[in-house]
Amino acid sequence: MDETVTLSPAIDILAPGEQTIPLVFASPHSGSAYPPEFLREAALGPDSLRLSEDVFVDRIFAPVVERGAPLLRALFPRALLDPNREPYELDPAMFEEELPDFVNTASPRVAHGLGTIPRVVCAGRSIYARKLSFAEAERRIQTFYHPYHRALAALVENTRARFGYCVLVDCHSMPSSTGPLGANAQSSRIDIAVGDCFGISCASALTAAVEAVFRALGYRVERNIPYAGGFTTRHYGQPGTGVHAVQIEINRRLYLNESTREPLPGMEELKAAVAPLIDAVIAVPEQELCAS
């Protein structure tokens, strides 16, 4: 069955009048605009589909704009398409026909049903009652994935060209309960997870600075546990070229009633943490961050 995916625009960039600091922030999973045709075809209702959202993460990091940094946010939901994946990270069991050879069908994300076109929401519930056509996946990738990454790549490159280096902060939230892809009982006791792909995606001084800010504010912080960084962190984080990427995961119980999706007072505390976070990143010596 064919599907017409409509949502325009797919992204939004909250930008200062003038970018004054070499930072770019991105929120790939806070989108909540569900195309009506997707809701009609989904086997799950809106409340279940929204379990995959990083609810309010874009609002938590919105103060970066006042400090002179842009914030890119996806408007489309993660259940429809996940931009924190390779462009063609797909589960062959989801599709009517055999997938092209260039598709990555063997990644751990695909195995857990969380590829570019997710098979399940984060609670493990199947999104579809039917198989999809590859044409549907291609249409979503062209409509949502590529516009998101074109915008992100431009923000990163423009920042590097202007300041000599760029720090990309990929902003996420994690459910307080256990989940796939390495999350375990320990994750419920972690407030903030800082991911640098085990030291590959950014300078160690940058990772340490981010961790220190949250620890000083009383949060329990772990590095690369339970998440070390997704496609965005791995792909854009190239310290040798002057681009550093770090992923921040916030435990939702700190700021959200996960049943009702109502914000808690802790949300304002996290928004207030943005200012010292930016100060700490800017304070990292430039020689640690510029291209080698």
Residue-range definition of the domain harbouring residue 249: 11-82+145-289
Instruction: Give dist(CA 258, CA 59) in Å, integer.
Output: 16
Residue 245 maps to a domain: yes
Digit-coded pLDDT (tens) for 202-237: 999 999 999 999 999 999 999 999 999 999 999 999
The pair of three-digit structure tokens given for residue 266, joined into one six-digit string: 């802790």
Instruction: Give dist(CA 196, CA 207) in Å, integer.
Output: 7
Residue 222 maps to a domain: yes
Q: What is the DSSP letter of 126?
A: B
Cα angle 99, 102, 105 (rounded to 5 degrees) comes to: 60
Express as a percent the part of the chain with pLDDT over 90. 89
The residue type found at 195 is G
Task: Specify burial of residue 108 (Cβ count, 10 A radius: 0-12, 13-18, 19+).
Answer: exposed
Instruction: Give dist(CA 209, CA 211) in Å, integer.
Output: 5
Residue 255 maps to a domain: yes
Count of structural domains, the chain: 1
Residue 170 maps to a domain: yes
Handedness of CA 128, 133, 139, 141 (dihedral sign): positive
> Which pLDDT does position 4 carry in this prediction?
45
Residue 121 maps to a domain: no
Lowest mean pLDDT among 114-118, 121-125, 162-166, 264-268: 121-125
Residue 29 maps to a domain: yes
Looking at residues 167-185, what average pLDDT do you find? 75
**Helix H or strand E encompassing 14:** strand 11-14
Looking at residues 233-250, what average pLDDT do you find? 98
Number of helices (H) and strands (E), helices first, in the chain? Answer: 11, 9
Asked whether 204 and 60 are in contact (CB, 8 A), the reply is no
Residues 6+ apart with CB under 8 A from 38: 3, 5, 80
Residue 162 maps to a domain: yes
Residue 185 has pLDDT above 70, yes or no: no
Residue 23 maps to a domain: yes
Asked whether 229 and 201 are in contact (CB, 8 A), the reply is yes
Digit-coded pLDDT (tens) for 24-76: 999 999 999 999 999 998 999 999 999 999 999 999 999 999 999 999 999 99
Handedness of CA 221, 227, 232, 235 (dihedral sign): positive
Task: Decide: helix, strand or coil at residue 232.
Answer: helix
Residues 6+ apart with CB under 8 A from 106: none
Residue 186 has pLDDT above 80, yes or no: no
Domain with 37 in it: what CATH number? 3.40.630.40
Task: Specify burial of residue 287 (Cβ count, 10 A radius: 0-12, 13-18, 19+).
Answer: exposed
Handedness of CA 95, 28, 32, 150 (dihedral sign): negative
